[in-house]
Structure 1
Amino acid sequence: MRAGDALPPLEIEITRTLIVAGAIASRDHQDVHHDPEAARRKGSPDVFMNILTTNGLVGRYVTDHVGPTAVLRKVAIRLGAPNYPGDTMVLRGSVEAFDGETAVVRVTGDNGIGRHVSGTVTLTLPARTPEAGPR
């Protein structure tokens, strides 16, 4: 891993099940995340993904790339365009910094209406033994 390295993109289908399950798993019981009629009454065309689900997907994207021994230290994201059912979000990332132990990865996620998420993930990687080779 080196500064400037790009992570491969990850496409995530935004399904109603993903949105509702993410809200339930994160104990976010706001009706806009599971009740389409309530979401419409509040000005949204449909239910939409909550920030905690997005946060989890961003973390998963990075750890899927760097491996299960990575420890997430900080996930700092900002939401933009909502994720609605029937859309696809594409996550992309690049390594901003890596000092041999700590990495900062910039992540963006775009859907059909724009940029859903942007931010950074800071993580540490355990020391590698010489026989394990470079990261």
Structure 2
Amino acid sequence: MTSMKTRRFEDVSVGEQLPALEIPVTVALITGGAIATRDYFPGHHDKDAAQELGSPHVFMNILTTSGLVERFVEEWSGPEARFKDLKVRLGAPNYPGDTMTFKGEVTALDADSRTAEVTLKGKNSMGNHVTGTVAVTLP
């Protein structure tokens, strides 16, 4: 059982800022995420193979990024919120030794469906790693 409280639709407003979330980017995070999502592309777990591709190190896959986006929004919305839609776009790669910081805000509310839209970005030292929107239904 989690002690996290779920946000109620009535308590959310357009323009509300989500608490920032810093994610240290590590080899374990990148390789573990790739293996957990069955993405065996060598650039996600083999440094030599990644370097042969022109990358300085292994790099994060989109499925790990999507999972981190969901974590960021769920830490704000709570465990009873339901993801309705997730749209992300990748930018700068995530490499070990960097930190990705998520920021976001509520950009739309739909009272009929009790849905909040969150616009977000996850930024590292090279720029935006991920940008996108997430729609969550709140109780």
TM-score, normalising length from structure 1? Answer: 0.91
- Higher percent of residues as strand: 1
Instruction: Give runs of ≥4 in structure 1 deviating > 4 Å.
Output: none
Separation of aligned partners in 2, 1:56 and 1:98: 23
In 1: Cα distance, 2:27 partner to 2:41 partner: 15
Cα displacement (A) at 1:8: 1.1
Q: Aligned-pair distance for 1:98?
A: 1.6
Number of the residue aligned with 1:97? 108
**Which among 55, 60, 68 is matched to residue 49 of structure 1?**
60
Counterpart check, 1:73 vs 2:84: yes
Q: CA RMSD in A?
A: 0.7
Is the aligned partner of 1:21 residue 2:32? yes
Provide structure 2 residue ranges, at least 5 long, that are not aligned to the other structure.
Answer: 1-11
1:114 is aligned to 2:133? no
Structure 1 residue aligned with 2:138: 125
Instruction: Write the letter of the residue equivalent to 1:92.
Output: K
Counterpart residue identity of residue 125, structure 2 = G
Unaligned segments of structure 1, at least 5 residues: 127-135
| Residue identity (%) | 55
* Residues 96-128 of structure 1 deviation map (CA, whole Å, 9 limit, x = unaligned): 0123410100010100111100000011012xx
TM-score, normalised by the number of residues in structure 2: 0.89
